[in-house]
Amino acid sequence: MANTVNQPGGPSSTAANPPAIDPVWEVVGDWNWTAESAHTFSDGVAQSFQGIDFTSRNTALAGTLEVGSSGLEIGISGSQATSRYYHTNMTGPVVFAALDDIVSGYSLADTVVIQCVMNPVVDTVQGSNESNQHVYGGLLVFDGGYGDPSTGNWYQANWYRGLSAATNYYHARYGGGTAANAGDNVVTTDTGGAAPRFVELVIYPGTGWSSAISLDTSIQAPFSVSTGVYYGNMETSLPQDIGSGGTISPGTTPDFTLRPSNIKVGMWAAYLTLGGGLRASEITVTFERFRVLKRKS
């Protein structure tokens, strides 16, 4: 069931009537991509929207990466090479901006929420090798690294689906750093139905973060969503099974690999084919809204 927020003296929230903002939050950036100027991205070339520069990377791994009347669209088919986010592999097409450009005076003492409303669609499922096909789309927080191998560090909250079934999942993962198999830090939960449409990532002071992901088709108030809620931090130098062995200490000092000076926030998609073989499916992830809020002092 979709989350609704009742406004004082008013109706429940809808796309045309968004939820009232809690007075502890300040909206510092809000992009309705369906109303922004049309633009086709070129890799590494910044484009200004509302005075903030947005840049694309891994652009050649998308068939479509543009802003149009439907929103910010990332389309990927079998015509492009495989893409993913796993450990130091950061090849999913992404459009991003520097967080300190959006949040004036951003520091490690701040709590920041990034949100999006998106529409992920599997346009075509190939007739064989479906078990090796995996598709994704959502929000990404990272240090600007891209490609494979990358030296970047990152975490994400997103939609995930394996194309051998119709099941859609809430999904969160982090990677980078120096640990072997660091991309194994992952969690998935069946949505119980359609692909998720709303995604939220919270960047806490220090290295902590959390997600919330839902089937809502409009923007939601911060911390109001109760599905797809996962937590993590950027202890990227530690093994993925932290805390499970006698010699592994969960109290190890976290890596401050993501700092105000290098944090980027963005929207991404990927189409992964494992083990080679036929690659002929197609997805389109269209981002309709992207919003950034800061907790007031």
How confident is the model over 9-36, as a mean pLDDT? 74
> What are the pLDDT digits (tens) for 208-225?
899 999 999 999 999 999
- Whole-number Å distance between alpha carbons of 56 and 268: 9
Q: What is the DSSP string of 140-159?
A: EEESS--BSS----EEEEEE
Mean pLDDT over all residues of the chain?
A: 87
> What are the pLDDT digits (tens) for 79-89?
999 999 998 89
Opening angle at CA 44, ends 179 and 30, nearest 5: 90
Q: Is the dihedral of CA 23, 226, 183, 179 positive or negative?
A: positive
How confident is the model over 37-59, as a mean pLDDT? 98
Q: What is the DSSP string of 168-204?
A: -EEEEEEE-SSSTTGGG-EEEEE-SSS---EEEEEE-
Residue (of 203, 216, 201, 202) closest to 171 by Cα position: 201
Give yes or no for residue 227 having a pLDDT over 50.
yes
Residue 99 is classified by DSSP as H
pLDDT of residue 143: 93
How confident is the model over 192-203, as a mean pLDDT? 97
Q: Compare 22 and 128 and report the one with higher pLDDT.
A: 128
> What are the pLDDT digits (tens) for 137-149?
999 999 999 999 8
pLDDT of residue 232: 84
pLDDT of residue 152: 85
Question: What is the band of 2 on the pLDDT scale with cuts at 50, 70, 90?
Answer: very low
Strands 112-124 and 198-203 come out as antiparallel
Instruction: Give yes or no for a contact between 171 and 186, defined as CB atoms under 8 angstroms apart.
Output: yes
pLDDT of residue 15: 53
Give yes or no for residue 280 having a pLDDT over 80.
yes
How confident is the model over 279-295, as a mean pLDDT? 98
Give yes or no for residue 16 having a pLDDT over 60.
no
- Quickly list H helices, the chain: 99-102
pLDDT of residue 239: 46
